[in-house]
Chains A and B, each alone.
Chain A
Amino acid sequence: GMPVEQNPPALSLYEGAESGLRCNFSTTMKGVQWFQQNHRGRLITLFYLAQGTKENGRLKSTFNSKERYSTLHIKDAQLEDSGTYFCAVGGASSGSWQLIFGSGTQLTVMP
């Protein structure tokens, strides 16, 4: 299967609502980076975590290396939150510390 799976593939929320995105990975990884890709195609880093939980305003992310998953929680969704959200996990495989990306969750926030 895919080394990094993101769920759901697509999500629609009304303004003010909240939801969570999940990222599962098949092998132990050292860190996760969450991105929002906006309509211009730019990748905006939301979080980088090597362990535990981080919060930033309406966003919260958790990384559990042992159980091989990470989550991104969005609360009080705003129109500008629309976009595609990618998780990417990193490890020391082959010495590159490359990021392995999931296929993304397309989020639409509706008024």
Chain B
Amino acid sequence: EAAVTQSPRSKVAVTGGKVTLSCHQTNNHDYMYWYRQDTGHGLRLIHYSYVADSTEKGDIPDGYKASRPSQENFSLILELASLSQTAVYFCASRLDRGEQYFGPGTRLTVL
């Protein structure tokens, strides 16, 4: 069974502060993704990576950076958190084509 974990599960941050969200997968998957979900909406892609030490921009990358230091780990970094970045963030992994496996989500509140 695919396993994707995220930490922290929830976080409160102050405007202008730095936030790092972490994702870890134990499936040896090549692709990893960061999505955000706003209340009442579907998920949108922020960044993705298909190999360690390389990241690519998704549909809504502004205000976010990503880091893939190893195949297993993928981080999302908010250098200067803003109110508009309050959302639930999901990490996912995928081997090649096909099904994506999602983590439990991180609820971020920026005050």
Contacts and interface: CB of A to CB of B under 8 A. Distances in A.
A68 interface: no
A98 B99 contact: no
Given A88-B43, A96-B58, A104-B42, A45 B31 contact: no
Given A97-B97, A98-B33, A42 B42 contact: no
Interface of B, helix, strand, loop or mixed by DSSP:
strand
Contact of A41 (B45, B59, B92, B105): B105
A78 interface: no
A1 B90 CA distance: 25
A42 B107 CA distance: 11
B41 to A, nearest CB: 6
B56 to A, nearest CB: 7
Given A41-B88, A41-B105, A42-B105, A99 B41 contact: no
Contact of A43 (B44, B90, B107): B90
Interface residues of B, number: 27
A30 B97 contact: yes
B75 to A, nearest CB: 18
A86 B35 CA distance: 14
Q: Which of B42, B88, B94, B99 has the most CB of A within 10 A?
A: B42
B58 A99 contact: no
A43 B42 CA distance: 11
Contacts of B44: 101
Contact of A42 (B41, B48, B50, B104): B104
Interface string A60-101: 000000000000000000000000001010100001111101
Interface of B: 31, 33, 35, 40-45, 48, 50, 56, 58-59, 88, 90, 92, 94, 97-102, 104-105, 107
Interface of A: 4, 30-31, 33, 35, 41-43, 45, 48, 50, 86, 88, 90, 95-99, 101-104
9 contacts: A41-B105, A45-B102, A95-B56, A96-B56, A97-B94, A97-B97, A99-B45, A101-B43, A103-B40
